[in-house]
Chain A
Amino acid sequence: MERLLHNYPYMVAVVLFVLGVYTILSQENLMKKIIGTNIMSSAIFLLFISAGNIAGGSPPIISKGYVPPEGVVLVNPLPAALILTGIVVSFSLTAFALSIVIKLHDYYGTIEADEILKLRSEL
């Protein structure tokens, strides 16, 4: 139990991931679905970043010949670099999805998935 509390970012990440997937699958509003994808990807970024972090660690910015003094630990820089890419990917997916939603709004005048389905079946 203490270990769980100590690693609370992991728990938050898992809860957020589940919430995000649930939002995508359950909401009818297309904007809410897209918000769900963002919650889901943020959860994974949180998991990745918190995995690379060390409590009390200092930023991994070093120059040539630098030796960290005794007792100073540097956090893992790799997850931060990866997640930077992940954020860009998530941003472009969101932008693309929003542009399709705008198109759908032009066609149907609504962004509710169930109303679009009804309008389509009437055609």
Chain B
Amino acid sequence: MWAWLASHPAALVVFMLMVAVSMPVLAHFRPLLCVYTACFAVGLALAGSLHLALLTLRGEVLSYAVEGWSPPWGIEVVVTPLSAFMLVVITAVSLCILVYSIASLEQEIPPGSIGWYYTSFLLLLAAMMGLAMANDLFNIYVFIEVSTIAACALVVAKNSKAAAEAALRYLLLAIVGSGFILFAICLLYLITGHLNITFTARALAGVYQQYPFLTWTALSFFLVGFSIKAALFPLHVWLPDAHSSAPAPSSAVLSALTIKIYAVVLIKLFFPLFGLQMLNETYLRHILLLMASLAIVAGSLFAFVQLDLKRRLAYSSVSGIGYIFLGIGLGSQLGLAAGILHIFNHAIMKACLFLSAGAIYRQTELRQVNRLQGIAFSMPVTMAAFSIAALSMVGIPLTSGFISKWYLSQGSIAAGQPIFIGLIVLSGILNASYFLPIIWQAFFVVDRQQPKTITLDAIPFSMLAGQVILAVAVLFFGFWPGFPLSLAQKAAAVILP
């Protein structure tokens, strides 16, 4: 079984697709059956991904040619340490979100569409897993489109005015983004005659001198396309509406995973295809650094002025994606490893925060951040999880957020640009300025009229479980960052030797 999976890693994607299409049938019999099946399937995929991750940590590169057609002609699936890292992040975080959604979803979307909701959810997971593993340019395009449709469906499932409008804006901008990506893929195919990334890279190195302008066009079109998809700062306009109007599990999965998978695909394309030298020659690395720095500062400033809790979290995702692109733009092995590590850390923190925001809304129907006084007395578990994740966003030591900021700082020193440490500290202060007031109000501002009795949260157990697992993970990987860190370092070492 395990050996078979190692030689057929694409089976994970096919498995998720098969479970996805079975969801409406299961919902026909009993809606809860869907979510239990989905949890079980994602749990199995998590076990498989962990197995692949351990294999890649040992230095094995697993590749599989679909239908036995060898690489230059057929479709190739390759599991590098980066792919295995992303597979583990996707399955682990979405498992927690699925557990949370057992009880939360029936309140948020029309009961008839629960089966279809899980279909979209699992399609999104399958597409993201495919993006992590695909080594073929056109395959990447197809998976990008599948994930776009599934992600929009997760937003529009809420069936509210705001969600429909946000989903349409997301969809239109995402179509523009994937148009740019397909255009760039087409240009690369014109120049090199290959679609397999390995072979395209080899051919491109030979013909780059002949077609410099077409190569640069392809490079910049990739940058624009993936910046729209990953919501990098000036092109983030669709994100706050889409992420704040979606149901809580959708917000969590979109903010924690979907925007990051595009950063991973960017890493997969930029470094093997174009190489660090071309990124430096075209000043693209500097543009990435500039956009990332703007994203970190502007995302935090926009988050600071938002009064709606979910919008504040959504803008904080804009700054989170900035950290990842900062790691990519530093262009050193250590910086890239820190950026990849932040994908994992930001995923668990942000998923936890969005799930807590959903739980707060479920119990109190409050969305305004300035009305949460004393809420920790009525929902102590939720607010504890929220506080742990928020402190980790600020970068308090012994949380996982501190680990990624620490390695990002080391990476910027190693890249000879210590100015970015100042940026990271500034962003930590900004994060503190919009997260700490919420925590302070929740725990220490008490209404004189109301008695100060502590009661446990009046929300279903599964909703608490999803948040608590993620919050414990934030603490655990703050103390022992060994496993994700070694995988991220291995991934960076493969990409930037």
Q: Does B445 contact A (CB under 8 A)?
A: no
Q: Does B108 contact A (CB under 8 A)?
A: no
How far does the alpha carbon of A30 sit from the alpha carbon of B175 in the complex, in Å? Answer: 14
Partner of A100, one of B145, B168, B179, B186: B168
Residues of B within 8 A of A100 (CB): 152, 156, 164, 167-168, 171
Given contacts A30-B168, A116-B165, contact A89 B145 (CB under 8 A): yes
B179 x A44 contact (CB < 8 A)? yes
Interface size classification for chain A: 20 to 34
Query: How far is the CB of A98 from the nearest CB of chain B, in Å?
Result: 10
What residues of B have a CB within 8 angstroms of the CB of A33 in the complex? Answer: 172
Chain A residues with CB below 8 A from B176, complex form? 21, 24-25, 37, 40
Main secondary structure of the interface of A (DSSP, over half): helix
Q: Which residues from chain A contact B216 at a C-beta distance below 8 Å?
A: none
User: Which residues from B are CB-within-8-Å of A92?
Assistant: 149
A interface footprint on B148-179 (CB within 8 Å = 1, 0 otherwise) = 11001100100001101101100110011001
A78 to B189, CA, bound (A): 11
A37-B142 in contact (CB<8A): no
Q: Are A17 and B186 in contact (CB under 8 A)?
A: no
**Judging by beta carbons under 8 Å apart, are A37 and B175 in contact?**
yes
CB proximity of A24 to chain B, nearest CB, Å: 6
Majority SS at the chain B contact face: helix
Question: How many A-B pairs with Cβ below 8 Å?
Answer: 75
**Interface size counted on chain B using CB atoms at 8 A:** 26
Question: Is A104 touching B165 in the complex (CB atoms < 8 A)?
Answer: yes
Interface string of A95-123 (1 = CB under 8 A from B): 01100110110011000000010001000
- In angstroms, Cα B149 to Cα A79, docked, is 24
What is the minimal beta-carbon distance from B427 to any residue of chain A, in angstroms? 31
Q: Is the CB of B156 within 8 A of A21?
A: no
If A17-B183, A40-B176, A85-B142 touch, does A51 touch B189 (CB 8 Å cutoff)? yes
Q: B304 an interface residue at 8 Å Cβ cutoff?
A: no
Q: How far is the CB of B237 from chain A (nearest CB, A)?
A: 11
Please report B residues at the A interface, Cβ cutoff 8 Å: 138, 141-142, 145, 148-149, 152-153, 156, 161-162, 164-165, 167-168, 171-172, 175-176, 179, 182-183, 186, 189-190, 195
**A interface residue numbers (CB < 8 A to B):** 17, 20-21, 24-25, 30, 33-34, 37, 40-41, 44, 47-48, 51, 78-79, 82, 85-86, 89, 92-93, 96-97, 100-101, 103-104, 107-108, 116, 120
6 residue pairs of the A-B complex, CB under 8 angstroms, read: A17-B183, A20-B179, A34-B172, A41-B179, A101-B168, A103-B164
